[in-house]
Amino acid sequence: MAPRTLILTTNPGIEDIVAEEATARLGARILETRTGHGRVIVSLDEDQLYLVSYMKSIHRARLLLSRSSICGGHSCLEKVREAVLESGVEKYITPYTSFAVRAERVGKHSFSSLDVARVAGDAVIEAVSRAHGARPPVDLDYPAVVVAVDVIHDELFVSIELGGELSWHRRGYRIYDHPAALKPTLAYAMIILSGIRDGETLMDPMCGGGTVAVEAATLLESSRIICMDRSRRHIGGARLNARAAMVENRIRFIVGDAARLSSYVDSVDVIVSNPPYGIRMGSPREVRRVYHSFLREAVKVVQKSIVLITTEHKTVRQVLEREGWSIAHERRVAHGNLYPYIIVARPG
């Protein structure tokens, strides 16, 4: 089977988790990890392509058709036309296949991403017309095929979105939309970083709409999963999400206060959680109070690791170190327009 090159996109900050999953799940060879840019370029056999839709750490996967260099001036748009014409895009689009071009541009150029999309769109029509004798229809709202054209500084990538428009992190189970929901890709990364093994117990004591719990239940077949939140409404929503993901009976739901954690559970192997960010909570003193009371309880029940995503990493570090725990790992990730840290702490 011929090897194919894919661009896997994800949350900036978890590219290494994507590379690990691509190797383990797809048997892919990692060609390039663009740390901080949310992109991992891999090569894999064509007959393994279908496995990409099972990946939990990616937003999108694109089949790379061409990669070349590009300059920054307006006349360099001609390079976009040439690259699309030479990419073989006509193998994926016929006069009966609607298409749209989505363009992204990063860096300094004297053209815009709209210019790139316009030139690339015309080139797709030219390539398909030459090959099949008729033009393909453009459908910007519901295209059958999406051609992605990215200009990243001096590089030009032409690719086809696998799975069309749908970003794969928008898993189908989000029936209840928590106002501060975590991206499932980040939840997955945190579960992996916790070092949990199948069969061990995972708890999210501030689980909101249940993203961590649902991801854990779909990943760990025989683990006990506990989802707790002090809001009855959010627990109701988490239950709905778990039902939609068909894992409701794998999760124990508790309406409860994380500041009294040890009164609900005796022992869990890992806590993986996304507590409220200070930025959204108002006073710094109130933030510290919530984190202090939660973490002092957490260390009483957790055996293996506590993994948090938070902007309050300094407070977390301070409290846990005072409790005799050590920070095993810390990394910054992008989450919407915020840049929180994922912190992994272990006893001792």
Q: Is position 192 an interface residue for ligand SAM (rule: CB under 6 A)?
A: no
Q: Is position 230 an interface residue for ligand SAM (rule: CB under 6 A)?
A: yes
**Whether 13 contacts 332, CB under 8 Å:** yes
Residues 135-174 interacting with ligand SAM (rule: CB under 6 A): none
Task: Tell me the closest approach of the beta carbon of residue 298 to ligand SAM, in angstroms.
Answer: 11
- Do the bridges between strand 39-45 and strand 251-255 make them parallel or antiparallel, or are there none, so unpaired? unpaired
| Binding segment (CB under 6 A) for ligand SAM, from list 17-25, 45-53, 129-137, 270-278 | 270-278
Edge to edge, the sheet with strand 99-106 lists 29-34, 39-45, 3-9, 60-69, 155-162, 145-152, 99-106
Residue 342: CB atoms within 10 A of its CB come to 23
Q: Is position 114 an interface residue for ligand SAM (rule: CB under 6 A)?
A: no
Among 21, 229, 297, 312, binds ligand SAM (CB under 6 A): 229
Please say whether the dihedral angle defined by the alpha carbons of residues 334, 163, 135 and 86, taken in this order, is positive or negative: positive
Residue with tokens 């949310």: 38
Q: Is position 209 an interface residue for ligand SAM (rule: CB under 6 A)?
A: yes
- Tell me the C-alpha distance between 173 and 218, whole Å: 11
Among 39, 105, 171, 178, binds ligand SAM (CB under 6 A): 178
Q: Is position 316 an interface residue for ligand SAM (rule: CB under 6 A)?
A: no
Say how many residues touch ligand SAM, by CB under 6 A. Answer: 22
- Tell me the C-alpha distance between 294 and 98, whole Å: 53
Task: Tell me the closest approach of the beta carbon of residue 275 to ligand SAM, in angstroms.
Answer: 6
DSSP-assigned letter for residue 302: E
Residue 343 forms beta bridges with which residues? 308, 330
Nearest of 121, 131, 231 to residue 179 by alpha carbon: 231
- Tell me the C-alpha distance between 148 and 297, whole Å: 48
Q: Is position 274 an interface residue for ligand SAM (rule: CB under 6 A)?
A: yes
| Residue positions counted in the chain | 348
**Whether 346 contacts 328, CB under 8 Å:** yes
For ligand SAM, the closer of residues 88 and 276 by Cβ is 276
What is the C-alpha R_g of the chain? 23
For ligand SAM, the closer of residues 149 and 212 by Cβ is 212
By CB neighbour count within 10 A (0-12 exposed, 13-18 middle, 19+ buried), where does 170 fall?
exposed
Task: Tell me the closest approach of the beta carbon of residue 181 to ligand SAM, in angstroms.
Answer: 4
By Cβ distance, which residue is nearest to ligand SAM? 208
Q: Is position 181 an interface residue for ligand SAM (rule: CB under 6 A)?
A: yes
- Tell me the C-alpha distance between 339 and 281, whole Å: 16
Task: Tell me the closest approach of the beta carbon of residue 37 to ligand SAM, in angstroms.
Answer: 24
Task: Tell me the closest approach of the beta carbon of residue 55 to ligand SAM, in angstroms.
Answer: 19
Q: Is position 125 an interface residue for ligand SAM (rule: CB under 6 A)?
A: no
For ligand SAM, the closer of residues 207 and 344 by Cβ is 207
Task: Tell me the closest approach of the beta carbon of residue 248 to ligand SAM, in angstroms.
Answer: 16
For ligand SAM, the closer of residues 147 and 258 by Cβ is 258
For ligand SAM, the closer of residues 41 and 212 by Cβ is 212
| C-alpha torsion angle, residues 310, 314, 318, 319 (rounded to 10) | -30
Task: Tell me the closest approach of the beta carbon of residue 341 to ligand SAM, in angstroms.
Answer: 14
Binding site for ligand SAM (CB under 6 A): 178, 180-182, 205-209, 211-212, 229-231, 234, 257-259, 274-276, 290
